[in-house]
Structure 1
Amino acid sequence: MARAKYQFLPDLSEDDIRLLDRVSDWIMAADEKYITKFSAFLDERQCLLCEKIMASVKYENYRLWGGYENAARRMLCVYPEYGEAESEDFPITAITLLYRKEDKITHRDILGSLMGLRIKRDSVGDILVGEGKSAVFLRSSVAGEVTSVLTKVGRAGVKLREGYDGSIHIEQKTQEISGTVASMRADCILSLAARISREKSAQLIKNVGIEIDHMLKNSPKILLEEGCTFSVRGYGKFKLLSVDGTTKKDRIHITLNKFV
C-alpha cells in the first residue's frame, strides 16, 4: 500500500519508502501542528527523493542544508507556514582537523576514524580533505564526543577545532572521453564511457543498475540526456557533457567527463 503512494517514483527501495513515509508525516505535522523537524544527513539520492515528494504535494516550506554551500550530504528541515530554516538552526557542527602537511590523510581515513568511534554514517555529512587541514560536518549531538576523543586519524596526529573557515577548495578532477554511439540509450553510452562491449554494458545495467542523476534504473533502453550524470558500481561516475552532431553513418558523436 505504501509503495502505491509513490508510483511516480520508480525503483524505490524499502529504505526509500521509509524515508518518504517519514517526510510525509513531517509535512502533516508541520501543516497541522506547526512542528519543525530535522532529518539526519541524507545522501544526494535521498535529497532528490525528498525534493520530488515535496513537489508532488506542492509543499514549499522545507530546506536542505549541509553546513556550507553546495554540500553533497545535507539535512532536510520541514517547517510550518510562516516559519524559517536559517543555516544556524540546523543541528550541524563543523569540525576542522589540523595536522602536518607531510601527513597525507584521505576521506576514507577520516570516515574510518569516525566509524571507529561508533558514529553512525547518517551523523556524518561532507568530509573535505585539504593539505594540512580537513573539515568534517557532523550532527551536533555527536560533535562533542568527536572533539573530546579523536586525536589520531590513520597514523597522523590531529588537533581539532570547532568551525570551518571555508578555506578548503576541492577541485574535482575529470578525464574527457569522446566518441560515437549508435543511440542515446544507456547501454550504448555506458559502453563508450567504460570501454566495454554494449552486450556487457546492457547486462550490467540489468543486474547492477545504472544511477542516473542519483536515481537507480535497470533498463538498458533508457535514454540519457545532455547534462546528466550517471554511474555504475565498479566503473565510476560520468557526466554527459554534450551531444555534438551525427556522422555520415548516422552515429551520434558525444563528449563525456569521467570523474577521477
Structure 2
Amino acid sequence: MASSSDTANAVRGFVPPQNDGERRLMRRVEELCRVAVSRGIPRYTGFLSDREQSLAQAACNKAGCSCIRFWGGFDAAERRVLCIEPPDAWQEEPLAYLQCTAYGNKLPTHRDYLGAILGLGLERSCVGDLLADPEREDTFYAVILADKQEFINAELTGAGHCTVHTACIDALPARLAESRERTLQEATVPSLRADAVLAAMLHTSRTRAAEYIAAGRVEINHLPLKAAHETAYAADIFTVRGVGRFKLAAIGGKSRKDRLFISFYQY
C-alpha cells in the first residue's frame, strides 16, 4: 500500500500524443532538431502551451538533441518558445514585446486583447503571455514573436470597446514578474479523484464538479478530463471552461481524519 509520502511525490508521467495535431508537432520538432544540429544554425518554434512543451521536450529527447531551452520572455511565463541553439551557432532573439495602452471607459481584458491580436489574422502560436500592469489599469504588455512585432504594432488599434495605442519596447518592466507571484490556497480532500480535487479548487460540491466534468468543460494539462474518478497528480493544471485555470501545486500528507492536504493556486 502506498504511503502518504509516495502520494505526495507522485507526478503525472508523459502522456503520448493523442491526435494528429500532436503527432505533427512532434515530427516537426524532430525535424527542427535535425536541421539545427546538422547545419549548426538555431531554430525556433512558435509559442507552445504547457502540453505542447511536454510533447516538444519528448521529441527533442527522441532526436537526441540537448541544446534546447524554453523561453517565454520572463522566468514565470506559461507560453514558451522552444529554442534549439547548437553550440557556437549565432544567437537570435525570437521574442519581442509590445506595450498596449487603452483609452476608454470599459478597459479591455486579457480576452479582449487576445481576440484583437488574433483578429489580425495571426495564429495563437504567434502570441505568448499577455500581462496586465499592476500599477496602471489601462496598460497591458504582450510577448510576441519578433517577426510579428512590426505588423502588430502597426495594425492593432483597438481592443474590446477601447482605442489602443501600442509601442515597441525592449523588455518587460521588472515589476511584472513580481506581480505574477501566485497566492497559494490550501484544502483537504478525501482522495485524489479529479472531482474531489476540482471541488476543493472551486469551493463547490463534488456533485457540481462532476457535472462540469460530465459536460466536457474540464481539461487537465490541456487534455479533456474524461471521467470524474481519474487521479490527479502534483503539478496538474485544471482548466474549467468559463470558470478559470488552477494548478495543483503540491500534495501533502494526511490529516487526523485521513484526508489529504493539497495546495493550489488560480491563474
TM, length-normalised to structure 1:
0.76
Q: Give, in whole Å, the separation in 1 of the partners of 2:224 and 2:57.
A: 16
Deviates more, 1:195-204 or 1:41-50: 195-204
Deviates more, 1:202-211 or 1:121-130: 202-211
Does structure 1 residue 179 correspond to structure 2 residue 178? no
Does structure 1 residue 90 correspond to structure 2 residue 63? no
Alignment CA distance shift 1:113-1:199 (3 Å): closer
Which of 69, 73, 93 is residue 67 of structure 1 equivalent to?
73
Q: Which amino acid aligns with 1:31?
A: V
- What is the identity percentage for the equivalent residue pairs of Structure 1 and Structure 2? 26
Quote the offset at 1:217 in angstroms: 5.0
Q: Give, in whole Å, the separation in 1 of the partners of 2:181 and 2:104.
A: 20
Quote the offset at 1:20 in angstroms: 0.4
For 2:96, what is the secondary structure of its paired residue? strand
Matching residue of 2:198: 190
Alignment CA distance shift 1:189-1:146 (3 Å): closer
Quote the offset at 1:221 in angstroms: 4.3
Q: Residues 68 and 83 of structure 2 are in contact (CA less than 8 Å); yes or no, is this contact kept in structure 1?
A: yes
For 2:231, what is the secondary structure of its paired residue? coil
Q: Give, in whole Å, the separation in 2 of the partners of 1:186 and 1:129.
A: 31
Matching residue of 2:8: none
The CA deviation string for residues 12-45 of structure 1, in whole angstroms up to 9 with x for no partner, is: 2221111001011122223334343211221222
| Residue correspondence of structure 1 range 36-51 to structure 2 within 5 A | 36-51=42-57
Q: Residues 231 and 237 of structure 1 are in contact (CA less than 8 Å); yes or no, is this contact kept in structure 2?
A: yes
For 1:72, what is the secondary structure of its paired residue? coil
Does structure 1 residue 236 correspond to structure 2 residue 244? yes
For 1:224, what is the secondary structure of its paired residue? coil
The CA deviation string for residues 81-106 of structure 1, in whole angstroms up to 9 with x for no partner, is: x24575xx133221112345976232
Q: Give, in whole Å, the separation in 2 of the partners of 1:155 and 1:18.
A: 38
Please give the root-mean-square deviation of Cα atoms over the aligned residues, in Å. Answer: 3.4
The CA deviation string for residues 70-125 of structure 1, in whole angstroms up to 9 with x for no partner, is: 22222112233x24575xx1332211123459762321222222223222222112
Structure 2 unaligned regions, length at least 5 = 1-13
TM, length-normalised to structure 2:
0.74
Alignment CA distance shift 1:227-1:121 (3 Å): closer
Q: Residues 246 and 265 of structure 2 are in contact (CA less than 8 Å); yes or no, is this contact kept in structure 1?
A: yes
* Structure with bigger RCO (C-alpha 8 Å, 6+ apart): 2
Alignment CA distance shift 1:218-1:162 (3 Å): same
Aligned length in residues: 248
Alignment CA distance shift 1:224-1:149 (3 Å): closer
Quote the offset at 1:242 in angstroms: 4.1
Q: Residues 41 and 90 of structure 2 are in contact (CA less than 8 Å); yes or no, is this contact kept in structure 1?
A: no
Q: Residues 62 and 85 of structure 1 are in contact (CA less than 8 Å); yes or no, is this contact kept in structure 2?
A: no
Alignment CA distance shift 1:99-1:106 (3 Å): same
Q: Residues 61 and 78 of structure 1 are in contact (CA less than 8 Å); yes or no, is this contact kept in structure 2?
A: yes
Q: Give, in whole Å, the separation in 2 of the partners of 1:220 and 1:28.
A: 41
Q: Give, in whole Å, the separation in 1 of the partners of 2:186 and 2:104.
A: 34
The CA deviation string for residues 147-178 of structure 1, in whole angstroms up to 9 with x for no partner, is: 22333333433332211341552446658352
Alignment CA distance shift 1:14-1:200 (3 Å): farther
Does structure 1 residue 146 correspond to structure 2 residue 152? yes
Which of 246, 249, 255 is residue 246 of structure 1 equivalent to?
255
Q: Residues 11 and 217 of structure 1 are in contact (CA less than 8 Å); yes or no, is this contact kept in structure 2?
A: no
Q: Give, in whole Å, the separation in 1 of the partners of 2:223 and 2:165.
A: 38
Q: Which amino acid aligns with 1:45?
A: R
The CA deviation string for residues 206-250 of structure 1, in whole angstroms up to 9 with x for no partner, is: 7738544555553544433445443343453333344342334x3
Deviates more, 1:204-213 or 1:53-62: 204-213
